Chain A
């Protein structure tokens, strides 16, 4: 597979007719937007920002980046890009596992779906060929059963299955694609777009193939340098030694709890106090951990497989109790039962839903129940049995589940209490309370896909794990910091390397690997410039889609209700001050990218 020719093998699938056609991506787009996230956004922009996300006219793109599935470390990532039915923004979500690698080994760089099949279909990909096939036998099945079905049909060897579950079929607005049972395109409701197109799965059969690169010797050298950085014991990525490798992402639970940045009971509190320990990475490692799975070309192995041995969920084996769902379905819902958290995550993995959004819709509904805004029984804090039952109703849009499947923003609006929805641009907040990590709050507000921790993961600086430590409670300086992190991550998402590579690597390593693979003259400044271009491209899409005044915001709870606990006690988010800094750093006229800026970046 020739990395240097990245972008030549993009297959367009017209689901109206079942026709497929290979068309190279425009060279200019690949040069400017790199791949994966950036390239996908460019296609979605070309399709038009006004499109109804659940109409046949919406484009559903799956793109590798130029390094996806290569021998580069942490390269098992690809992107799903579309206009989101949850937010109305452009959205991209990224998935680990081996599907990205198998797409590359099958000889393809990306898939672009448009239209709507008359009946359920899946695509089967092998040796560069894409065929649209009948999926009526698996329609209505969950992810796990769908994966088994295709493994039985085609044999498990060299096979990847990326599918939607019942939630996507029912157009749940936070439905997620999953591959190989448990690696998700988690955010933005991309699987609802799949469901609206009657597209059930992408099935790829491909054996491992070595990458052909422009400069073989240099490629080996720069990959080795990047790997050495990842393995460095000073970094949290160090295999079996660093915190991320040993405990997974859930190593964060105790530190955010300690500093008062762990939203609890729908963010009415900023700490889960002593109960946080029982849902933490340390607790999981000590009590229920049974394995450390990994993704393609990743020595970190941050995934954590668990087995529940007692209680109502005894016998459950699943991966992975990540920090985000452990928070959203745990502390956020006043739930310290880690077994139920594992059960709920596995339900999300099977029905195909985003657990961050699910936890937030629960906590919104719980607070509404507590305050008497719900007619009927509602949902009590920490009622895990009811949460498990309601998860199925939400996935299948049954009963009140039909309302909650709209996501917390729409559901709270319909309940008459939008103030209970902890969302930005319609997408729920993740696990870092903006009153205790102020840069993260600015990152949520200015994220182009709605509240997101990964667009600008400035927690790395605010928790002091990368050079340039920043006081988490200081708002000054966060505008420039957030911009820099957003640009860097827009680039790594376009390569597409795992976001966690940035705990060890930086613009130098990214540029060197891209240059060696593609034979392009590319340096660290080009990394930041390309990242900035992608970020502005997304913002341009959103502006054209109607996002304007006031859309970069946070729920009032974070700007008006002071933190209740620990180091951040008494603090609110100084969002207005941070936004002024941020827009100045971006060169935006508040929330809008001016044409002059777009021209300077080569977008117009």
Chain B
């Protein structure tokens, strides 16, 4: 599925939007998607996910514009190519 990366995460994946595949799945949990991302880009260790595969604090992953943090099933939320996925490092300003 297409995953959009923002700010400094773009330099890790080499672009703005990349196709991420979870082997054998067209639909998967956000946790599985994060595992696939970490496997493909080891540089994300410590900046995107923690040692247990969870999302680091201050990192935002949005499913259709809602932070997965506030979705009822959190990292167990199931996503597919139908969903828009955006991932941001900590960002704010004024």
Contacts and interface: CB of A to CB of B under 8 A. Distances in A.
A302 B90 contact: no
B8 A246 contact: yes
Interface stretch (A192-200, A255-263, A407-415): A255-263
B8 A243 contact: yes
B94 interface: yes
Interface stretch (A68-76, A344-352, A358-366, A451-459): A451-459
B92 A243 contact: yes
Contacts of A322: 93
A282 interface: yes
Q: Is the interface of B mostly helix, strand, loop or mixed?
A: loop
A281 B60 contact: no
B8 A499 contact: no
A249 B67 CA distance: 21
B39 interface: no
Nearest to A280: B6
Contacts of A568: 65
Interface in A313-365: 322-324
B9 to A, nearest CB: 10
Query: Looking at B10, B90, B91, which has the most chain A CB atoms within 10 Å of its CB?
Result: B91
B90 A243 contact: yes
Interface string B9-49: 01000001000000000000000000000000000000000
Given A277-B16, A464-B58, A567-B62, A254 B92 contact: no
Contacts, number: 104
B64 A566 contact: yes
B93 A248 contact: yes
Contacts of A248: 93
Nearest to A256: B91
Interface in A530-585: 565-569
B66 A459 contact: no
A236 interface: yes
B91 A243 contact: yes
A472 B62 CA distance: 13
Contacts of A85: none
Contacts of A236: 90-92
Contacts of A254: 6-7, 86, 88
Contact of A282 (B7, B62, B67): B7
Interface string B53-72: 00001101010111101100
Contacts of A281: 7
A249 B57 CA distance: 21
A471 B66 CA distance: 9
A503 interface: yes
Contacts of B89: 243
Chain B: interface size category: 20 to 34
Contact of A258 (B57, B58, B65, B93): B65
Contacts of B65: 258-260, 565-569
Of A242, A566, A567, chain B has the most CB atoms within 10 Å of the CB of A567
A464 B7 contact: no
A419 interface: no
A562 to B, nearest CB: 14
Contacts of A464: 57-58, 60, 67, 69, 90
A457 B69 contact: no
A598 interface: no
A385 B19 CA distance: 39
B91 A252 contact: yes
B65 to A, nearest CB: 3
Given A251-B7, A254-B6, A473 B70 contact: yes
B91 A255 contact: yes
A255 B60 contact: yes
B7 A243 contact: yes
Given A255-B60, A464-B60, A250 B93 contact: yes
B92 A252 contact: yes
A454 B7 contact: no
A255 B70 CA distance: 16
Most buried by B among A250, A322, A464, A500: A464
A460 interface: yes
Q: Which of B7, B8, B62, B64 has the most CB of A within 10 A?
A: B7
A72 B31 CA distance: 42
A247 interface: yes
Contacts of A259: 62, 65-67
A206 interface: no
B93 A323 contact: yes
Given A244-B93, A282-B7, A566-B65, A258 B86 contact: yes
Given A473-B70, A567-B65, A251 B91 contact: yes
B79 to A, nearest CB: 14
A302 B93 CA distance: 9
15 contacts: A247-B7, A250-B93, A259-B65, A259-B66, A259-B67, A277-B16, A282-B6, A323-B93, A324-B94, A464-B57, A464-B69, A465-B90, A500-B94, A567-B66, A568-B65
Given A243-B92, A255-B86, 20 more contacts: A234-B90, A235-B90, A236-B91, A242-B90, A243-B89, A244-B92, A249-B93, A251-B92, A254-B88, A258-B62, A282-B6, A302-B93, A454-B94, A460-B92, A463-B91, A464-B90, A465-B58, A469-B69, A471-B69, A473-B70
Interface of B: 6-8, 10, 16, 57-58, 60, 62, 64-67, 69-70, 86, 88-94
- List the 8 shortest-distance A-B pairs measured between CB atoms, nearest first: A567-B65, A249-B93, A566-B65, A243-B91, A567-B66, A471-B70, A465-B92, A251-B91
